[in-house]
Structures are given as structure tokens and as C-alpha cells.
Structure 1
Amino acid sequence: MAKVTLQHLRKVYPNGYVGVADASFEIADGELLVLVGPSGCGKSTLLRMIAGLETISDGELRIGERRVNDMPPKDRDIAMVFQSYALYPHMTVAENLGFGLKLRGMSKADVARQVGEAAAMLELEPLLERKPAALSGGQRQRVALGRALVRKAQVFLLDEPLSNLDAKLRMTMRVEIARLHRQLGTTMIYVTHDQVEAMTLGQRIVVMKDGKIQQIDTPMALYERPINLFVATFLGSPKMNILWGPVLERDGGLHLRIGEGVELRLRPQGEMLEKVRAYIGRELMIGLRPEDMHLAEAGPDTLPAKVEVVEPVGNEAFLNLGCGGCDLVLRLPPFHLPAPGETVHLSYAAERMHFFDRQSELRL
């Protein structure tokens, strides 16, 4: 095991495109860190730079105490699990697991021992004599994980390993990977575009967009205090509701005018009060999570909204609404739901509001 240190890593392609702009952070020894962001944000490029599969244009990469910028992948003591299983179809599970160890000149006895350990850990022992064609998608992914585990490398790199699985298998394998990490205590860097995977797996999360790191923190810190609008709306399912409009001062209080005759009462506290007051007459963006808005009786501090779509998903329901030109989603118990076309009134947790500058989209 080893820590991984990135100091101002950049990847610039010959055509001038910047794949990774300036990545600087440290993955602690034994940490499971997740790189997350939309397609094309640079997360897989960054992982491949750590693996040695992409050249580093600038900056320094260290694994443990070694500078590895120009070191070939085979000498970096890393193991990688790719999006595709990449199993040899003519080999059995046992042969797939042990192939890399044989190439390194390990004795048959040692290969058999390490394959046996990995198979027991991943519950692959009944499958060792099967070939990949006789395995389910989840079983193939476990073999791909096992092939990395037998390496006993200092760092494990996982590049969207669950994206080819169905929803049920993804959930099962998420639990499996988390369990393996706790059991092994090894350093893992996990790439995904799925924010649910990121939130449930990562001890810390690196959020990326357009090759740039937006924010690095624990899952709940990112959820509770996103640094900008992108992080706020990317993490969370359904995503954060965003309302915008000019800030008004009336009747001794602050209001956000969302539309004609539709206003949101603002109650910022402490130093945030002065920050919001500075926006009087200017546009401000307000974020509220779906769980922080509720159906209520009409009143002075409620918002009128029109129900557009109702999505019952079993233990809860999502209510899609229109409100003064803004689209909102509420997370509710699946009972006594209004019908599409109805007008409802919404209460909201004013103390749970997130404030963002309309132009820069940065958190106040």
C-alpha cells in the first residue's frame, strides 16, 4: 500500500486540447478516493496518467516516495480494473486469475495459493473451472476484480468497473467493492460518472468538470456545502432545485422574486444576511434539495406550483412541478399524491437554502 501524490498534473494533447488542467491532491495510504464527473470531464484521463497509460504533460506524480512520471506501468506496482472485463475467453476463471502472476515468473504453488485466496474472498471458488462465456455479468466483473487483487499491488485503479452491469448487480457490486476495501485496507482510486456510486463508495470525492477539479471533500460535506452550482446539481438524486430572480426588500424582510406574483421568503442568518442584502436589486440563485420542500396549505410563506408529472417509485414518490418558470422536484411519501395539472402550495426549510451568485455560479 502507498499514498499517491499529484502535484499540478496536466495533460495537453497535440491539438492543444487540455484533458486535465491542474490536478493537485493526495490520496492517503489505504484510502478509497472516487473521481466523479460527466463524460469528457477528464476523470479517466487522470486515472490513466496515474496508471502510466497516458503521458504526463506537466507536473509530478508520486506513488509512495517514488516519482513515477516516466516509469512504465509494469514498474509502478499498480493493478487496474477496466470498464470492459477483458477476460481471456479460452481460459478458465482460475487461469484468468493467475495469468498475470505466471507472466511475472511466479511459481505454480504461489500462483495457486494467491488465486485461491482471491477466489475465496470473491466467492469464486465454485466457478474456477468455468470459462467466461458460462458466467453472468456480475461473475465476470468479480473475476476482473480478482485478477487485480491477486497482484497485491500498492494501488488499485478502477475505471468505471460497474457501468456494464444492470441496476441490481451494480448495487450488489458496490457493496462488494466497499467490503473488499475494508478487508484489504489498500489504496483505491475509483472512477465513475454515477454520483450514487461516488456518494456510497468514496471516503473522499474529487468532482471534475471540463478537465478541472471543482471540489474535493467527503461525500456529505459535498452534499451539504457544494462550492458552486455544478457540484450542487451534480451530486444528489433527484438533483437540487434551483430558483432564481432579483432580491427584494419588503416589510422588513428579504424576498426572491421568481415570477410575476411569485416570491420566495429568504431568512439568511449571521454573516450570510449581509451577503444576501448586497444582492438587493440583483439576481441571486437559491438551491433547495427535494427533501427540503414539502406540500402545505396556502399561506404567506408558501410557493404556488403546478404539478406536471408524478413519479411513484415504491417507497417514495417524486413530484415534478413548475413554479414561476423554474422546474422543481419534491421527494415525498407515496401516499395521497396530487394529480398532474393541480396547483399546490409548497413550504420550504429556509435554514437549508444554498445561495449562489447568478453570474459566477459560486457559493456565497
Structure 2
Amino acid sequence: MAAVRLDQLRKVYPNGHVGVADASFEIADGELLVLVGPSGCGKTTLLRMVAGLESISDGTLSIDGRVVNEVAPKDRDIAMVFQNYALYPHMTVAENLGFGLKLRGHKQAEIDRRVAAAAKTLELEARLAARPAALSGGQRQRVALGRALVREPKVFLLDEPLSNLDAKLRLSMRVEIARLHRQLGATMVYVTHDQIEAMTLGQRIVVLDGGVIQQIDTPMALYEQPANLFVAGFVGSPAMNQLRGTLHCEGGWTLATAHGAIALGEPPQAAAWLPWRGREVVLGIRPEHLQPLEAGAAALHARLEVLEPVGNEVFLNLRYGEQPLVARVAPRALPEPGSTLALGLAVERLHLFDAVSGARIGA
């Protein structure tokens, strides 16, 4: 396996559109790193630049210490798994798995050895004689993974490999890929637009928007300390609640919004807020840190619009003036929609952002 290093990597198209802007980070040997972001953010473009399928406009790309900017894809010692399985329908599973090795001139005994090892790893041994039409979606995806696996490459690149599967299969294949990574200790770069996939699979996550890297960190660090409003709103399901207003500190911290003042108490992180008194900010609060109160002083009152019970938790869809809010609570007896709820904030878990730049305050 090998480390991958990107130094000011840039992709500019002939029409002037910047697909990727100055991407710089290192993927450690044996790391599973996820590129995540909305459609058009540059994540697939960046992966294809690593694969050699997109030319590099500027910057340096190194794999295992070797600069590969001008190296052909077949000579980079990488294997790619695409969103489309791209299996040959007239070939058996065994033939699909070994076809790339055959093209590269490997001897049949070596091909058979690698195919058998990949089939055992992916639990495809009983399906080696079957053709793709006879396989389930999950089995086809495992064959696509196995075709990369038999190559024994330095780096695996996976471009939204689970997006064509249904929800149940996606869950099981996520577990399969995580298990495979632990078993192989392989360097993997995984692209997805699904932040749940990113959070559950990635050892580190690169969040992109508009071709620009917004933050690189571990899943929980992204969740607990988002660098800006984009990351705060993108990472987490349901998304972080965001309330815009003016910050005041007169006998306790408050946020003056268009609908009224929200009491913020005395947060432990308030020392970093002092320079922002009297300025417009955005308050961020995760759904699990916004809770209905049965007694005590409420931070705000909001109207309950919709209840969404999902088994082990309930989502409360609320309206504070014109601002929608979501609270995540444990299953219990709750008021009917249309009721007004008194809500408290976990003050130690509040986030504050610059309303102009979106940057986290106190980062």
C-alpha cells in the first residue's frame, strides 16, 4: 500500500470553470479517506485526477513518493470501483474478476490464485460460475470490488459505489467495505454525496463545496466542531438548526432574532464571544441539544408542526416565527401538533458563526 499526497492540486476547464481549487492534503498509508459534498462540489473530479482520468491543471500529485502528474492511469498502480458496476454480461464472475489480470499478461495460475482469494474474501465462492444477470445488486457490487481487489494495487479509489443499491443493501455493503478495509489495511479513497456513508466509513473526511475544501477532520470532530456554516449544515442528520440574530450580553447572553430574544445563559465558550457583542451572528444548535422543558426557564418557545417517530427516537419539526427547527427526543408522550413548546438549549453545546463569512467563532 502507499500514501497519496496532493499539493495545491487544481483543475480548471477550458471555459474557465474551476472544478477543484488548490486541494492540499495527504492520505496516509492504509487510511480510508472519504471525499464528501453535494453534487458538483468537485469530489469526483478530484478522485479522477488521482486516477489519471482527468488532467491536472496545476499542483503536484504523488503516490508512494512518486510524482504521477504525467503518468498514465494504467501505470499508477491504482484500482477504481465505479458507480456503474460495468461487468461484462457474457462472462462469469470468475472471468470478470480475472479479466483485467489477463489483459496485463498474468499467467493463468496466478489469475486463478488471486480470483480464488478475492472470492473468498467477498463470499463469492459459490457464485464464480454465475453470470452478472443471475446476481443480486449486492453481489454485483462485490464482483466490482473484487475486480479491483485482484489487482493488489497500491491505492483503491471508489466513486459512489453504493448509490445504485437500495437502503438495506447499502447498509450491508457499508459494513462489507469497512470490514474489507480493516482486513486488507489498504489505502482507500471513497467518494460519496451521502454524509451518513461518510461518517460511518471514513477515518477522516474531506468536505468540499464549489471545488474548495471546507474542512478535513475525523467524523466526530466535523460533527462537534464544524469549521463553518456549510459544514455545520451538511454534516449531521437532521441538519444543525441555525438561527440568525444579534448577540448581546447584558445580565446573561441573548440572541436578538426577528421573532424575539433567545436566552443563551452563560456558555463555557462565551469568552470567545466577547468581541462579537452587538454584531450579527448565526447560532447553531444540534437537534439533540434542543429539548422540550417541563419546568424551568425556557430559552425560546416554538410551535410544534409535525411529529416523526422513527422507533428509538422522535423528530419534532417546529416553527420559531418563520424559522423551521428540529428537535431530536427519546420516545415519550408528546403534545399534539399545533401546540406551543417551551424549549431549552444545552448551552455547553452551542455553536456560533460569523454571519458574513460563515466561519466558526472560537475555532
Q: Identify the TM-score tier after normalising by the shorter chain.
A: over 0.9
Contact 2:44 2:191 in 1 (8 A): yes
Pairing 1:277–2:274 present: yes
The match for 1:325 among 310, 322, 325 is: 322
- Aligned twin of 1:136: 136
Q: After the TM superposition, which residues 23-42 of structure 1 pair with which residues of structure 2 at under 5 Å, given as runs?
A: 23-42=23-42
Q: After the TM superposition, which residues 217-296 of structure 1 pair with which residues of structure 2 at under 5 Å, given as runs?
A: 217-250=217-250, 252-269=251-268, 272-296=269-293
Contact 2:36 2:205 in 1 (8 A): yes
The code of the aligned residue for 2:84 comes to S
Overall identity of the aligned pairs, in % = 67
2:257 and 2:339 mapped to 1: Cα distance? 20
- Aligned twin of 2:3: 3
Deviations 1:270-315 (A, max 9, x none): xx43442333322111111111111103543431110111111122
- Aligned twin of 2:164: 164
> Greater CA deviation, 142-151 or 338-347?
338-347
- Aligned twin of 1:110: 110
Q: After the TM superposition, which residues 44-83 of structure 1 pair with which residues of structure 2 at under 5 Å, given as runs?
A: 44-83=44-83
1:266 and 1:35 mapped to 2: Cα distance? 37
1:281 and 1:172 mapped to 2: Cα distance? 50
2:264 and 2:201 mapped to 1: Cα distance? 37
Contact 2:264 2:345 in 1 (8 A): no
In structure 2, the residue corresponding to 1:278 is in which secondary structure? helix
The code of the aligned residue for 2:249 comes to E
2:121 and 2:260 mapped to 1: Cα distance? 62
| Per-residue deviation, 1:32 | 0.4
1:22 and 1:261 mapped to 2: Cα distance? 42
2:229 and 2:321 mapped to 1: Cα distance? 20
Q: Give the total of aligned pairs.
A: 361
Q: After the TM superposition, which residues 4-19 of structure 1 pair with which residues of structure 2 at under 5 Å, given as runs?
A: 4-19=4-19
2:151 and 2:181 mapped to 1: Cα distance? 15
> Greater CA deviation, 295-304 or 130-139?
295-304
- TM-score relative to the length of structure 1: 0.97
Question: Unaligned regions of 5+ residues in structure 2, if any?
Answer: none
1:356 and 1:278 mapped to 2: Cα distance? 13
Contact 1:265 1:301 in 2 (8 A): no
The match for 2:349 among 326, 330, 352 is: 352
Q: CA RMSD in A?
A: 1.2
1:137 and 1:266 mapped to 2: Cα distance? 52
Question: Unaligned regions of 5+ residues in structure 1, if any?
Answer: none
Contact 2:228 2:360 in 1 (8 A): yes
- TM-score relative to the length of structure 2: 0.97
Deviations 1:202-235 (A, max 9, x none): 1110000000001111111111111101011111
The code of the aligned residue for 1:145 comes to L
1:258 and 1:65 mapped to 2: Cα distance? 53
**Residues 261 and 29 from structure 1, CA distance in 2 versus in 1: closer, same or farther, beyond 3 angstroms?**
closer
Deviations 1:173-203 (A, max 9, x none): 0000000000000100000000011111111
